[in-house]
Structure 1
Amino acid sequence: MLRFIINPHSRSGKGKKIWENLKSLLPQDLIYQQFFTEYPGHGSKLAAQLTKEKEEPAPIVTIMGGDGSLNEALNGFHMENAPVLGYLPTGSGNDFARGMKLPADPAQALAHILNPKYFYQLDYGAVCYGDKARPASRRFLVSCGMGYDAAVCHQMNQTKIKKLLNAVHMGKISYLIIGIQQIIHCRFTDGTLKVDKQASIPLKNIAFISCHNLPYEGGGFPFAPGAKVDDGYLDLCIVTAKSRLRFTAVLFTAMLGGRHTRLNGVKLIRCREASLRLNAPLPLHTDGEVLGFYYGMEITCHPRELPTVW
């Protein structure tokens, strides 16, 4: 059984039309179900409904949308009844598709799902945040982060520039514009990082700390070029900077194929779990979805728990 969760508002509102075109490519004798998301968070509710009971064999649940649509589904799945995940990329960033080397064309991606060549067991991450009175947690498939990267995501989700540029297939420029703005406005703070229950590492002038299950975030920035989605580890990219000029150099070299890893103030750590504590609150995101401002986070890798097909 094939099931599709479709974000009709993806690709600047063209998602529904794209899906109608894709349906014409489905075999006439194929049995499938389609579900359209109607509001933010609806994808999680649909995913929960579709995985409420155990099925053998596990159904293929295909998400059509962007990284945010994938994140909603992942956070709705009952993982004890985990489906086989399929993906049709129609987002603006598409960092999951980029990191997995999936076809950017939804029609080609659909062909892979209908005639699969690869089945993988993917890792996913979970982040805990909030305080003792109101603890919260959320899963992520691509990345999570605190600081500059989350600030860019926050503004991206609010600006009208993104929709305008996506409409003319220039969505990446919106990331560049907002990224430059946030270099000026983002906050730096101090804190401590504890990795795999080792001694705490003091950090000064934290610009951002991103945690990666896949190499890219922010529409193609390879902040963790060595991250692998099925190795049982998460890759931390820690960026500290004494000045905004030096921080700009880090971001510029990151655009050039991940060369930022050679610079002072950039550190990559591979871990199974980590705990970050900050002196001042910074924004937190999971797969580009901003959760608010917090004084830290705790992350954990869940190795090879998500079946995927393409």
Structure 2
Amino acid sequence: MRSMMLTEEKMIHFIINPTAGSDKGISVWRDLEPELIKYSLSYDVFFTQYPTQATEEATRLLACEEAPVFAILGGDGTLHEVLEALKDESSAKATLMYLPCGSGNDFARGLALTKDPMKFAADLAAYSSSTKKGETPAHMLALSHGFITIQDEKENFFVSGGIGFDASVTEAIATSPLKPLANRLKLGTLAYLLLGIRQVFTEKSAPARIIVDGKKQLNTDRLFFLSAHNLKYEGGGFPFAPHANPEADEIALCIFYDMGILGCIVGLLASLFGLHKYKKGVALLTCKHVEIFSEKCRTVHTDGESLGYLDHISFSAGKGRIRLLYTKKADK
């Protein structure tokens, strides 16, 4: 770790995954740091070297400082690791900023966050100025989250979680030799679509019982997938849940069920334009809790990380809030 203290203002703690997005993380940092110096901001820098290290560093800083300010450079995975450390009430005074440098960037896409280092630095400077004056920063979001329960064990998600097809595609992409090339060519959404169409022919749907908020029940002979969302995008740009609200005490559901192979392909293509809501066999709902009983084990994921094969899970809305400084693409 290295640091630079240029004024008496509050320290900004950068946690950076240098290899995110095929080494985009370090490239973006090289563009950003001169801007931080230009604005005379106080900051320190931590570069991650292995998975979960971002969680470890954020946890360490939370133990040392009551209201730390985190600035994250990385992909959805790096962000998820830091958010894991911030999800408890003890971190309610922490503030988070995020400059996306990954391949999928569904979190940033769902909130229309900027990818521009210049704007990010300018917003950091504005935040620093407002806090020194005791003012409330503009674009502060009280970010909610959801969680999955598996045999009394809970795993949080901040973008989405799912069971079935969407999870199997996520797993296929993670292990595909095409992923690095797709990242370099900025073809992540296309890779998801192509692997998705392949999975349509190989993924076996199964009968399932879905219980929403303990009362509404959907029985389906063929559950293709169910995804639960805090933000609307998944898979590098598919707006499966256009009705998702990251500040609500609810999760948004997208369910594909009782349709054939052609119907699935049409539904996936339609979802790119938000038109899947008009298709038979697609249900878009909001709820606080949903429980899924599948007649066979299906692939499960949260925020793009596979959790294995399961036949009984539930998704729920979380109660905690995370202070996110909303660095938008453009002010309106």
Alignment TM-score, normalising by the size of structure 2: 0.86
Q: Which has the higher mean CA deviation after the structures are superposed, 61-70 or 199-208?
A: 199-208
The alignment partner of 2:35 has SS state of: coil
User: Match of 2:45?
Assistant: 34
2:187 matches 1:177:
no
Alignment equivalent of 2:148, drawn from 127, 130, 135:
127
Query: CA shift at 1:304, angstroms?
Result: 5.7
Query: CA shift at 1:199, angstroms?
Result: 4.7
User: Match of 2:312?
Assistant: 296
**Contact 2:206-2:295 at 8 Å conserved across structures:** yes
2:203 matches 1:186:
yes
Gaps of 5+ in 2: 1-10, 128-137, 327-332
**Contact 2:230-2:245 at 8 Å conserved across structures:** yes
Alignment equivalent of 2:214, drawn from 197, 206, 209:
197
| Residues 295 and 72 of structure 1: CA distance in aligned 2, closer, same or farther (over 3 Å) | same
User: Match of 2:321?
Assistant: 305
User: Highest Rg: 1 or 2?
Assistant: 2
User: Match of 1:5?
Assistant: 15
The alignment partner of 1:298 has SS state of: strand
2:31 matches 1:21:
yes
Gaps of 5+ in 1: none
Aligned length: 303
Query: CA shift at 1:17, angstroms?
Result: 2.6
Query: CA shift at 1:190, angstroms?
Result: 1.4
| Residues 70 and 177 of structure 1: CA distance in aligned 2, closer, same or farther (over 3 Å) | same
The alignment partner of 2:175 has SS state of: coil
| Residues 284 and 258 of structure 1: CA distance in aligned 2, closer, same or farther (over 3 Å) | same
2:166 matches 1:149:
yes
Alignment TM-score, normalising by the size of structure 1: 0.92
The alignment partner of 2:243 has SS state of: coil
**Contact 2:87-2:322 at 8 Å conserved across structures:** no
User: Match of 2:68?
Assistant: 59
Regions of 4+ moved over 3 Å:
none
Tell me how far apart the structure 1 counterparts of residues 295 and 166 of structure 2 sit (CA, whole Å): 18
Tell me how far apart the structure 2 counterparts of residues 81 and 107 of structure 1 sit (CA, whole Å): 32
Aligned pairs (5 A) from 1:213-232:
213-232=230-249
Tell me how far apart the structure 2 counterparts of residues 196 and 96 of structure 1 sit (CA, whole Å): 26
Query: CA shift at 1:226, angstroms?
Result: 1.2
User: Match of 2:3?
Assistant: none
User: Match of 2:282?
Assistant: 266
Query: CA shift at 1:60, angstroms?
Result: 1.6
Query: CA shift at 1:302, angstroms?
Result: 2.0
Percent identity over the alignment?
35
Query: CA shift at 1:30, angstroms?
Result: 2.2
Query: CA shift at 1:303, angstroms?
Result: 4.3
**Contact 1:127-1:300 at 8 Å conserved across structures:** yes
Aligned pairs (5 A) from 1:85-124:
85-116=96-127, 117-124=138-145
Tell me how far apart the structure 2 counterparts of residues 171 and 267 of structure 1 sit (CA, whole Å): 26
**Contact 2:173-2:192 at 8 Å conserved across structures:** yes
User: Match of 1:244?
Assistant: 261
